[in-house]
Amino acid sequence: MTARKNILVVDDDPDFVEINKTILETSGYQVAVAHDGQECLARARTDKPDLIILDIMMKTVGDGMFAAQALRQDQATKAIPIIVVTGVNQVPPFNIGPDDGWLPVDAFIEKPAVPQVLLEHVRRALGQATTRIERGTQSGAR
């Protein structure tokens, strides 16, 4: 039997966290939760998740972006795949996506995330992809 993959979901919206935790657990993943960038960094260092799903704007503007940058600079966490799920581009004047400097993540999905698209991004990030993500429905991996 294959060990269950551990996913850290990071968002300050309790409804988003609960919905996506349920989706992921129903699909066979173990899920831990953090509610801001600092908690994300602490949990990533101690729990060593296989994947992080991260919001950009939480308690402070850019909280998730700064957490992603810190994760990539830390030897203990820099190899953990990061998927951003955010509504930041719905707030003018923002229009961001994966970027090696400012937003060093593996995939970017706009909220609300379609469960099947989220799961396919998760499988792809964990090397378990079975189908191709349709372009145009959600942002793809870089």
The DSSP string of 21-89 is HHHHHHTT-EEEEESSHHHHHHHHHHH--SEEEE-SSSSSTTHHHHHHHHHHHSTTTTTS-EEEEE-GG
Is residue 130 a part of any domain in this protein? no
Tokens representing 106 are: 């593996």
What confidence score (pLDDT) does residue 137 get? 40
- The total number of structural domains in the chain stands at 1
Is residue 90 a part of any domain in this protein? yes
Domain, as residue range, for 30: 6-125
Is residue 40 a part of any domain in this protein? yes
pLDDT band, residue 13 (cuts 50/70/90): very high
Q: pTM for this structure?
A: 0.83
Does 118 score more than 80 pLDDT? yes
Cβ-contact 27, 123 below 8 angstroms: no
Does 93 score more than 60 pLDDT? no
Is residue 142 a part of any domain in this protein? no
